[in-house]
Structure formats: structure tokens, C-alpha cells
A = this chain, B = another copy of it.
Amino acid sequence: LGKGKNRKAHWAVRASEMSKRTFNPIRAIVDSMKVEPNHQKPLISLSIGDPTVFGNLPPDDEVIQAMKEALDSGQYNGYAPSVGKSWEMLSMYAAPILLLLQKSNMPTLLGILYTGYLSCREVVAGYYTCPEAPLEAQDVILTSGCSQAIELALAVLANPGQNILVPRPGFSLYKTLAQSLGIEVKFYNLLPEKSWEIDLKQMESLVDDKTACLIVNNPSNPCGSVFSKSHLQKILAVASRQCVPILADEIYADMVFEDCKYESLAKLSTNVPILSCGGLAKRWLVPGWRMGWILIHDRREIFGKEIRDGLLRLSQRILGPCTVVQGALSRILRQTSPEFYHNTLSFLKSNADLCYDALSTVCGLQPVRPSGAMYLMVGIQMEHFPEFENDVEFTERLIAEQSVFCLPATCFEYPNFFRVVITVPEEMMVEACRRIQQFCERHYEGAEGSQDLECDK
């Protein structure tokens, strides 16, 4: 017998290289923060990009009703192809359409799934289409959250050994997924002094023959920044010049404060092919529901059939998002009340202002004003906090003394900053800022030998 012949069998089950490479940089950092909050003070966690944690931002009632309606219909319990245009889908994974099919004498079986859950892809296409960047159902791939959208987009665009360009600071999942897939990550810089615009020159200098795509995250986690139209155009110019397709992480699309305008990259692109990743998680405040999508923008047919087919194939591995949410999607996108969006954003804006204003007055801190999303980055003038070696130590001690937990921006490859999540209830935001101030006052030291021994704030 094969194995018997070659060796004495013994148990040696090892985890695959891929699973070892699948590593979340935040883990090492946060795991090393072995510290307890101050028992005198209740913990305030400003660390989690989940707007639902505090109960102050429930989803729109319409959204809940849409789910119940989908459940009651009995139409959304079966397999729904996230894509479907062939017999294969028909044969492997069904759609309610088959019932119909049996009653009617359809001329052909081919392509019928275009009328099944295709309705759901159609709804997304209809929601995001615009004359400059038209979308049809076939341009939409439904995924299990924006995370899977990014995973599939990376998996189709890049081979192991190729590289991708990723923002710094940036969302850690890009690196986790790329490493998992054996793709190299090159970081381009965002400039805090320019409201986190991209250092375009430096970004362009990173492009080489092995560059498979450029990830642009707008609005940004962790920065809360929103790119202007002209900056987006400049990004597109680089991509166009270098012939690099863009993976646009637009999960915070339209989540911008009133004084600011959100533009999708695809709308501004004349030739650069774009995979735009999005989902329900943030704007509709239901991250746990795991509904995401990829919008394929390819007006010059640069992606062509190959990339589309690749996405279809990859998306079949786990068969798309929960069908109940798919069933509810039309009503969610079409009927969520304008007030809901408005209220969410004005709450976020008010918290952002509150936090920015409060931390601006704190010696040693340099918050950067956000324009959207749910975050705010705060620079730490480390030279004024000689007790702490870095942002990790700073935030660690902030927990220990003040029971306020912010993620050190080392988690986003950006030392000497920390990130504040602004979805917490207002009183909590106020109290957190007060404690951060107290903490900084206690530890601030004027730089020796310089004039500003005292902070002049």
C-alpha cells in the first residue's frame, strides 16, 4: 500500500502554509497589550468599527420589515446563485424560478437564472448605475460581506508573487488577504497634513511590472477622510498612465458629512477598469448580515470576459450571501427612509465635531478632522510623552489608567497615531474625550530645550 511501502506511518498533521500566512497584523499588536482597564472606571471602547455595538444606531425599521417580508414570502430559503447564466447553476443550485419554469414551457433552459435572484443583482445595479458608469445585473456579483468582495477581487486580479498597492494607514484586511493569497503588499502613503490625500508621486513610484492592482479606500477607514473629485481624477490618471486596474473599497460610499460630496471612482473613470466593493454593513448599519457586492466597471473591456468569468467561478465556491437578505435587498435599497441616512450622518458629524474639538485642545494630540465614515485619527506627539515608547504603549496605558480603549494606529501600519470610533453615544464620546484629556495632561511633558515647555493650546 502506497504509504506503507514508503514509510512507517505516523501522525503528523500540520497546518497549511496558507493558513499560517493568513495573519491579522492587529492580532499581534493587540494581543501583546496585556493590560487591564482601571476598575474604578467603566470601560469605554472606541476601538470597534461596528456601529451596532452600543445600541444607539439601530437599523431602519424598513430594513427589519424587509427581512420579515422575505421570510414570510417563503421564497428565499433556497440556493440563490450569486451569479447564474448557465445550466450549471440551474443544475446545482436552484432558484424559485424553477417552479415557474415547470408551469411555463420555456423555450430554453439556458440563461433562465437571469430572471431569478438576478432580480437582486438588478436591484444593486439599478441603485448604483449612473450615465457615466452604467451598470447592469451582470456587472454585479453578490458576496458574503465586503470582506469577501475584496477577497474575490484580489483573488481574480493577482497571482502569487505579484504585488498590490495598499494605503498606509489602511484597513488591515487588505494585507491579511494578500498574504493569505501569497500576494506582496506595497504601501503608499496618505498625508495627514493634506486631509489624508494620497502621496501620488510616491504611489506611482511603487508600480512595477508585477503590480496587479491599486486599492483605493474612499471614504477611508481608519482616517474618515473623503477624497475630492479632483484628487480622485489624479488617482485615476496614475492608474491610467501605469495601466493598473483599481480595486475601490467603497464600503463607506455616501457616508459623508453634509459639507462634503462623495464621488465614486467609477463615475470619474474614462478608461481605468474598476472593481468597486461595497455592501450593507456600514451605511445600513447591519454589518453582521454579511451582504456585500462587487460592481464591475469595465467600459473599455480591459477586464473583459476573463475577469468576469473568474469572479463568477470564484464566487461559486461558497455560494453567495444569505438569501433572506437577498430577498430583502430590493426593499432595503429602495425604501430605507431618507431620514434614516440623514440622521445617521448628522449623528456621526456631530460626534466627529465634538471629538475633534475636544481633542484639538489637548496638548500633545493632533486630531485630523474627518469628513465621513465613522472614524477619526489622532496624532500623538510622542516627543511630548517620553514615558511611552510608541502608540501601542500610549493606548495601553490609556486603558490601564482611564479605561478608554482606542486602537493604536500601528494596527493600520501607521505608528504614533490612534484611531477613534465615533459611533458611540454622545455622552460616552464626551466622557472619553475628557478622560483622554486627563490622561494627556498627566503625561505631557514640554520638549526639553525648546521654547514650548508649556503647551500653548
CB contact under 8 A between A39 and B94, given known A78-B50, A78-B288: no
Q: Which residues of B contact A90 (CB under 8 A)?
A: 30, 45, 47-48
Is A27 touching B88 in the complex (CB atoms < 8 A)?
yes
Instruction: Kindly provide the distance from the CB of A428 to the nearest chain B CB, expressed in whole angstroms.
Output: 8
- In the bound complex, how far is the Cα of B34 from the Cα of A86, in angstroms? 11
- In the bound complex, how far is the Cα of B15 from the Cα of A158, in angstroms? 7
Is B318 touching A148 in the complex (CB atoms < 8 A)?
yes
Which of A6-14, A129-137, A348-356 makes up part of the contact surface?
A: A6-14
Q: Which residues of B contact A145 (CB under 8 A)?
A: 318-319
Q: Which residues of B contact A325 (CB under 8 A)?
A: 322, 324
- In the bound complex, how far is the Cα of B7 from the Cα of A242, in angstroms? 10
Is B50 touching A13 in the complex (CB atoms < 8 A)?
no
Is A319 touching B147 in the complex (CB atoms < 8 A)?
yes
- In the bound complex, how far is the Cα of B250 from the Cα of A321, in angstroms? 22
Is B303 touching A7 in the complex (CB atoms < 8 A)?
no
Within 8 A of B (CB), among A261-277: 273
Instruction: Kindly provide the distance from the CB of A180 to the nearest chain B CB, expressed in whole angstroms.
Output: 6
Q: Which residues of B contact A155 (CB under 8 A)?
A: 16, 18-19
Is A151 touching B317 in the complex (CB atoms < 8 A)?
yes
Which chain B residue has the least Cβ–Cβ distance from A38?
B105
Q: Which residues of B contact A10 (CB under 8 A)?
A: 243
Is A39 touching B98 in the complex (CB atoms < 8 A)?
no
Contact with B along A278-317 (1 / 0, CB 8 A): 0000000111111000000000101110110111011011
Most buried by B among A49, A273, A310: A310
Q: Which residues of B contact A128 (CB under 8 A)?
A: none
Is B101 touching A43 in the complex (CB atoms < 8 A)?
yes
Within 8 A of B (CB), among A75-132: 76-80, 86-88, 90-96, 98-99, 101-110
Question: Chain A: how many interface residues by the 8 Å CB criterion?
Answer: 140
Q: Which residues of B contact A158 (CB under 8 A)?
A: 16
Instruction: Kindly provide the distance from the CB of A113 to the nearest chain B CB, expressed in whole angstroms.
Output: 11
Instruction: Kindly provide the distance from the CB of A8 to the nearest chain B CB, expressed in whole angstroms.
Output: 9
Q: Decide if A20 is an interface residue (CB 8 Å cutoff).
A: yes
- In the bound complex, how far is the Cα of B64 from the Cα of A68, in angstroms? 9
Q: Which residues of B contact A217 (CB under 8 A)?
A: none
Which of A203-211, A228-236, A369-377 makes up part of the contact surface?
A: A203-211
Is B310 touching A77 in the complex (CB atoms < 8 A)?
no
- In the bound complex, how far is the Cα of B42 from the Cα of A51, in angstroms? 50
CB contact under 8 A between A47 and B288, given known A16-B155, A17-B159, A58-B74: no
Q: Which residues of B contact A91 (CB under 8 A)?
A: 26, 30, 47-48, 405, 407, 411
Most buried by B among A16, A53, A59, A90: A16
Q: Which residues of B contact A7 (CB under 8 A)?
A: 209
Q: Decide if A24 is an interface residue (CB 8 Å cutoff).
A: yes
Contact with B along A324-361 (1 / 0, CB 8 A): 11100000000000000000000000000000000000
Would you mind naming 14 contact pairs between A and B with Cβ atoms under 8 Å apart? A1-B207, A1-B242, A9-B243, A15-B306, A16-B159, A18-B181, A22-B316, A24-B313, A37-B105, A37-B109, A43-B109, A53-B98, A79-B287, A289-B324
Known A-B contacts: A3-B242, A4-B241. Give 12 more (CB < 8 A).
A1-B205, A1-B207, A2-B205, A2-B207, A18-B181, A19-B155, A37-B105, A102-B428, A109-B405, A144-B319, A288-B323, A288-B324
Instruction: List chain A positions with a Cβ less than 8 A from chain B.
Output: 1-4, 6-7, 9-20, 22-24, 26-27, 30-31, 33-34, 36-37, 39, 42-45, 47-55, 58-59, 64, 67-68, 71-72, 74, 76-80, 86-88, 90-96, 98-99, 101-110, 144-145, 147-148, 151, 155-159, 172-173, 176-177, 180-181, 204-209, 211, 241-245, 273, 285-290, 300, 302-304, 306-307, 309-311, 313-314, 316-326, 399, 405, 407, 411, 428
